[in-house]
Amino acid sequence: MKRALTLDDLMVAGIAVAAGLLAAFLLRILLRWLGKHAERTRWGGDDVIVDALRTLVPWAAFAGGVASAAAVLPLTSAVGRNVNRSLTVLLILVSTITAARVITGLVRAVAQSRSGVAASATIFVNITRVLVLAMGFLVVLQTLGISIAPLLTALGVGGLAVALALQDTLANLFAGVHILASKTIQPGDYIRLSSGEEGYVVDINWRNTTVRQLSNNLVIIPNAQLSGTNMTNFTRPEQQMTLTVQVGVGYDSDLEHVERVTSEVVTEVMTETTGAVPDHEPAVRFHTFGDSRIGFTVILGVGEFSDQYRIKHEFIKRLHRRYREEGIRIPAPARTVALQPGGPGVPEAVIPEAGIPHQREATTLP
């Protein structure tokens, strides 16, 4: 039989609870101090661990104080058992949430370190969080005396029905996991689909992939569609790429002189333009005897896909200026139209087509 509750019991219990609260407050201050030091380190995992412990440790100290208070009070066995079970459930819940934060934080840090610029592969983070929380929920049920065997059996049977009802969702989920596991696409890559969409991969989550276009608009693509379409990844196997520019000069040009001047302009652009590859070797390749010009290709080095527009702009502008200084002629298209007498209905003049720059029309009448 339990003894009667006295004032001393209440005082000791109050001191135990106050000690638990004080310990929680002091530990939180200590962890805040540790967090500031963790921010100075290169490894991001210690930041995640310390931030998660800020939640777990104070609650553990408070639960310890309440447990000590319950131990000194003259409680019945049933009440004491319920109090201990409640405190155990509280600690399990707090520990589960803390573990989910730590593990998902570490997964996010690893994913971002491997993915490149501003990467975020939330699919792995979400799957990890759900698994940890589900295991914690099962442990709580077991602690409360609820058998989880029927629940697992029901989940196994109901899982088939859920899988049939969520075929598209599961297809997108596994397609996203396959995309990241195969490393064909990672956040930060620049891709172009056969359907025409292109841009930087911002995120790959459990259902879709977010692509940011150069116009700063977002394109949302289902993972299953992305996995089943033809696609070009301009970032892999390496981020640097080559850019070709088509140029033409007149037949009266000295091709050795043209090649030397063009190579000098390429070297200048590669050295002075942001995003270019400074150690790129100039490449000029003549390839076509055209109607009014000799065509050739200039190959430029580009640091990444979006740099090509700036580099092409600078190259064309500087090459045009240099050709004018060197007297190298870039011929404009020319067309001669001869009109033969054909009776009534023959036009007396030919009007040049609109929109064709630098075109010469010559009308010859016998």
pLDDT at 39 over 60: yes
pLDDT-derived band at 280 (thresholds 50, 70, 90) equals confident
**Amino acid present at 207:** R
> Please, how many CA atoms are within 13 Å of residue 32, restricted to the half-sphere of its CB?
7
Amino acid 151: pLDDT: 67
What is the per-residue pLDDT across 43-53, written as a single tens digit (0 to 9) for each? 666 666 777 77
Place of tokens 């892999």: 236
Unique residue bearing structure tokens 């000098």: 264
Residue 344: predicted pLDDT: 55
Q: What is the enclosing helix (H) or strand (E) of 353?
A: none
Pairwise CA distance, residues 125 & 327, whole Å? 62
pLDDT tier, 118 (very low <50, low <70, confident <90, very high otherwise): very low
pLDDT given at position 70 = 72
Per-residue tokens: 4 = 């009667």
Report how far residue 213's alpha carbon sits from residue 351's, in angstroms, rounded to the nearest whole number.
43
Top mean pLDDT of 116-130, 185-199, 331-345, 352-366 is at 185-199
The two beta strands, 294-302 and 283-289, are: antiparallel
Q: Residue 318: which H helix or E strand, with range?
A: helix 308-326
Whole-structure pTM over 0.95, yes or no? no
Residue 114 pLDDT exceeds 70: no
Angle between the N-to-C axes of helices 77-115 and 122-143, in degrees from 0 to 180, rounded to the nearest 10: 170
Q: Could you give the angle at the alpha carbon of 112 between the alpha carbons of 106 and 114, nearest 5°?
A: 105
More confident of the two residues 244 and 117: 244
H/E element holding 219? Answer: strand 218-222
- Looking at every residue in the chain, the average pLDDT score rounds to 77
Per-residue pLDDT at 265 exceeds 90: yes
- Asked whether 225 and 244 are in contact (CB, 8 A), the reply is no
pLDDT digit string, tens, across residues 51-90? 777 777 777 777 777 777 777 677 667 776 777 777 777 7
Q: Which residues have CB under 8 Å from 299's CB, separation 6+?
A: 242, 243, 244, 283, 284, 285
pLDDT beyond 50 at 295:
yes
More confident residue, 166 or 347: 166
Write the DSSP string, 104-165: HHHHHHHHHHHH-TT---HHHHHHHHHHHHHHHHHHHHHHTT--SHHHHHHHHHHHHHHHHH
Residue 271 has pLDDT above 60, yes or no: yes
Give the 3-state secondary structure of residue 210: strand
Helix (H, G, I), strand (E, B) or coil at 295: strand
